Chains A and B, each alone.
Chain A
C-alpha cells in the first residue's frame, strides 16, 4: 500500500516526476557510458602489449658488479621448463655511417631465427642486418643499401616496422646476426628476453631463476613486463575514475532536483502528512513513504539510464576509438551496475532531508497548515 501510495503521489505530479527521472537517466548514462569508454580505452591500449605480457627481461645485476651475462647462465636459463622462448641479446653502442652522414646507435646482436619473434619487418628479410625505421629514414636506407658499423661494411637486409617495446626500441635499433656482431664486439650477453609459457607461470619462472642462477650470488635481475602493464592499467583506471567523477556532476544536479521536488511535495502535502499522523502513521511511516517515492524515481531513472548507457558507451567508443569491440564486455556490465547503484543512492540521499523534514512535522501543525 505504501508503494501504491508512493506511485500515486508521483503520478500526481507527472511532469515533475518525469523531469526528475530524466535527470537521473542522464546522470547514470553519463557515468556508465564514460566508465564503459574508459574500460574500452584501456583494453585498446593494452591490446598493444598483449604480446609482451608474458615477457621477462633478465639483465646483469649491476648493483653486485655484474655487467654482462655469460653463456653458461644463458644455458641455465634455457633449461628452465617455463621458458618458452629464450632470446639472449648482445648490445653495444657504435658509430654508424652511410655516405657522408654518421650517428651513434645501439647495435644489437641476436640469433637470426629469433628476431622475428620480436620484430615485424616493413621490407626485406630477417637474414642479415636489420635497421629501425628512424635509422632508415635518417640515412635514406633501402633494402640492399650499404652501411658501415664500427668500421665494417654491411648490407641492409630488412627494415623494421615502426613499433614500441620496453627493452629494445625498434625504431632506433640496428640489429646484426650474432656471428657478425661477434666479429666486431665482445662476446658476452647484455640481456636475455624470455617469453614465459603463460602469465601465471611468471612467478614460478622467477623463483627458478633465483634458485638456479642466483643461488650463490645475485648475478642477474629479473624484470617482468607484467609490472609495466599493471601500471598502465592502474593509470587508465584512475583516468576512468576521474572522468566518471566529472560525469558524476550531472548526477549531483539530478540529486539536487530530486531534493527540490521532494521539498516542494512535503510542503504541498503538509496537510496530508498531518492527517496520516493523526490517524496512526508513525514518523517512520512518513519517512518511508517519501524515501519510497525517491527510490521509485531512482530505480526507474537508473535502470533506464543503465540500459541506455550501453548505447552511450557504444557510441563514444565508435566516435573516439573507431571500434566497439570492447563496448559490451563483463566489465561494461560492471560499470552499468556502478551507474545504477549511484543513481539509486543519489535519489535516496537527496530524499533523506525532505523525508526527515516531513516525518518531523507535528500532526496538529501540519493539519492546520495553510
Chain B
C-alpha cells in the first residue's frame, strides 16, 4: 500500500524555485497496476522518486505500507528500497563491468545473501525475462530491450512488493517495448506485485488497472 498525502516538491535553482509537485495526494492498493500519465516536465519522475524513497518531499507525507518514510534514517530508507521496492528506469542503469547475471545478483549482494542462493535466484529471474542464454554477457553486448529485461530481473531480485517503472519502454522500439510491458504485466497478475508506471505514452494505458493524469505537478483526473 502506497499513500501520498499532500506532497509538495520544490527545487531551488539559484534564486528561482521550481514547483515540481504541488500538493499531490493519492493511494495505490497492494497488487494494483497504476499508470501515471502526463506531458514532459509535469512531475512524473519526481513523483516516482518520492514513492521510491530516492528523494524526500519538501512537505507532505509518503507512506509505504503505513510507514512514514520521512521518519526513517538514511540506512532504513536504503533497506526499504532494497527489500520492498524494485526500480526500472528508462536508461536501464546496468553496471557495465558486470555480466547480466552479476547485475541481477547485485541487490542480493547488498542484502548479504549467500553466493549459491544469489546465483540460482538470478538465473531463475533471467529465465523469467527470457535471457537465460545471455546471462554471461556484459550490458554492451545486449540490445536495449534485453538490457531493460535484465534491469527488470534485477528489480525483482529481493522479491519486492512494489515495482516502480519510469518510462521503461522509452528507449525501446515497439516490439521490444511490448515484450518488456508484458513481463511487467505478468509479474503484476501472477505474482501480485504492485506496479506504478509513469509514462507519456498513451498506448501503455491498456496494461493498467487505473490511470492517473498529472499536469504541472498536480493530479488532474484520478479515476
Contact = CB atoms under 8 A, between A and B. Distances in A.
Given A363-B54, A364-B55, A367-B54, A282 B78 contact: yes
B79 interface: yes
A279 B97 contact: no
A229 B98 CA distance: 61
Contacts, number: 65
Interface in A327-370: 362-364, 367
Nearest to A284: B75
A62 to B, nearest CB: 76
A285 interface: yes
Contacts of B74: 283
A278 B97 contact: no
Interface of B is mostly: helix
A281 B75 CA distance: 9
B61 interface: no
Of B78, B89, B106, B154, most buried by chain A (CB within 10 Å of CB) is: B78
A8 B81 contact: no
A281 B93 CA distance: 15
B90 to A, nearest CB: 11
Of B49, B96, B97, B115, most buried by chain A (CB within 10 Å of CB) is: B97
Q: Interface size for chain B: under 10, 10 to 19, 20 to 34, or 35 or more residues?
A: 20 to 34
Given A5-B98, A8-B97, A285-B110, A280 B49 contact: no
B82 A279 contact: yes
B111 A280 contact: yes
Contacts of B54: 278, 363-364, 367
Interface in B78-101: 78-79, 81-83, 87, 89, 93, 95-98
B106 A276 contact: yes
Of B52, B79, B95, B107, most buried by chain A (CB within 10 Å of CB) is: B95
A279 B110 CA distance: 8
B107 A5 contact: no
A1 interface: yes
Nearest to A285: B110
Contacts of B87: 278-279
Interface of B: 49, 52, 54-55, 74-75, 78-79, 81-83, 87, 89, 93, 95-98, 102, 105-107, 109-111, 115, 154-155, 158
